[in-house]
């Protein structure tokens, strides 16, 4: 079963790559624009540290760059692998074409989640590696092997959290149909993940830790690379991501159960 779904994902990824490469000039321009936006994401960090002239909430400029690196990497995953497919679900529901997906002999959530990819977003991964390298150059040391291993695990939990949050957003489309603005709101909210979690206090700290765990997605992996993430935080991150995945799966099954096509 797992091999079958991996093969199906490979077919869809190859189809998206061929479609994107069909117009090579557009492919290159999209990649250049993506790099430009990644560079602009660094500007606020430079401005804040230039004006402050010191560490902010215990985070130096080099340490904050690690958070920016994780933000850049996850932004590529979000906009290259999650958004393109799941935003199409809303159109399927609105037009009643979700029936064609449900009739196929594969899990509907898997099919709608792998419908389309944007391969040129892989530039985010290259940029993230460059930012990590520059950050550790400024810090004058490199990450430990244990830290890299933990951050790799946290990459999996962060992607699972992002995907689960988007599934929860998509489930709302079964009840209110038009959730475009909610999608834009979530994408804008994700921009806050570029800052270290201690910057946010009070209600925002609670929201970005437990409701929309942006701090878990970017600050935790950065702390793991610095070798100062407590093991308990790693455990909570794994447990929390599994809980989000479980809840989103249950709500998806429930939403599909009440779905009626436009022709019904």
Which residue ranges make up each domain of the chain? Answer: 1-257
Bridge partners (DSSP) listed for residue 59: 56
**Alpha carbon distance 7, 2 (integer Å):** 9
Q: Which two tokens stand for residue 232?
A: 């308990």
**What is the pTM for the complete model shown?**
0.86
What's the full length of the chain, in residues? 264
**pLDDT at residue 192 above 90?**
no
Per-residue confidence (pLDDT) for residue 13, from 0 to 100: 84
Query: Is pLDDT of 21 > 80?
Result: no
Q: What angle separates helix 83-95 from helix 145-176, to the nearest 10 degrees?
A: 10
The Cβ of residue 120 has, within 10 Å, a number of other Cβ atoms equal to: 22
CA gyration radius for the chain? 20
> Cα torsion for 252, 73, 46, 37, to the nearest 10°?
-80
Q: Can you tell me the distance from the alpha carbon of 199 to that of 238, in angstroms, rounded to the nearest whole number?
A: 23
Lowest mean pLDDT among 31-35, 102-106, 200-204: 31-35
- Count how many Cα atoms sit within 13 Å of the Cα of residue 155 in the half-sphere of its side chain: 17
Q: Sign of the C-alpha dihedral, residues 235, 144, 164, 191?
A: positive
Mean pLDDT of 214-224: 89
- Give me the pLDDT at residue 177, please: 62
Contact partners, residue 158, CB within 8 Å, separation at least 6: 70, 74, 216, 217, 218, 220, 221, 241
Secondary structure class of 263 (helix, strand, coil): coil
Percent of the chain with pLDDT over 90: 20
* Spatial distance between the Cα atoms of 11 and 186, rounded to a whole number of angstroms: 29
Q: Which 8-state DSSP code applies to residue 212?
A: S
Cα gap 121→82, rounded to integer Å? 11
Q: Which are the contacts of 91, defined by CB distance < 8 A and separation ≥ 6?
A: 97
Residue 7, H or E segment: helix 2-21
Residue 223 confidence class, pLDDT cut points 50, 70, 90: very high
What is the CA angle 152-121-146, rounded to 5?
A: 10
CA angle centred on 16, ends 80 and 254, rounded to 5°: 65
- Residue-wise pLDDT tens digits, 109-154: 888 888 888 887 888 888 889 999 999 998 988 888 898 999 999 9
pLDDT at 53: 64
Separation of CA 134 from chain center? 23
């Amino acid at each position: 079963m797992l091999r079958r779904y991996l093969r199906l994902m490979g077919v869809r990824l190859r189809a998206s790559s061929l479609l994107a490469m069909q117009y090579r000039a557009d492919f290159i321009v999209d990649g250049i624009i993506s790099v430009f936006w990644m560079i602009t994401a660094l500007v606020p960090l430079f401005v804040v540290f230039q004006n402050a002239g010191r560490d902010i909430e215990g985070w130096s400029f080099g340490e904050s760059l690690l958070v920016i690196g994780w933000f850049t990497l996850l932004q590529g995953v979000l906009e290259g692998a999650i958004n393109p497919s799941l935003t199409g679900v809303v159109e399927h529901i609105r037009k009643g074409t979700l029936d064609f997906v449900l009739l196929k002999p594969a899990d509907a959530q898997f099919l709608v989640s792998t419908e389309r990819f944007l391969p040129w977003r892989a530039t985010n991964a290259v940029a993230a590696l460059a930012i990590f390298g520059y950050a550790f150059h400024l810090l004058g040391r490199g990450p430990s092997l244990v830290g890299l291993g933990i951050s790799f695990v946290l990459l999996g939990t962060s992607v699972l959290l992002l995907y689960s949050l988007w599934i929860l957003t998509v489930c709302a489309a079964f009840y209110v149909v038009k959730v475009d603005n909610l999608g834009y709101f979530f994408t804008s909210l994700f921009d806050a993940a570029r800052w270290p979690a201690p910057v946010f206090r009070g209600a925002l700290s609670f929201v970005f830790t437990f409701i929309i765990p942006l701090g878990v997605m970017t600050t935790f992996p950065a702390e793991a690379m610095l070798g100062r993430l407590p093991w308990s935080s790693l455990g909570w991150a794994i447990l929390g991501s599994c809980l989000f995945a479980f809840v989103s799966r249950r709500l998806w099954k429930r939403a599909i159960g009440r779905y009626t096509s436009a022709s019904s």
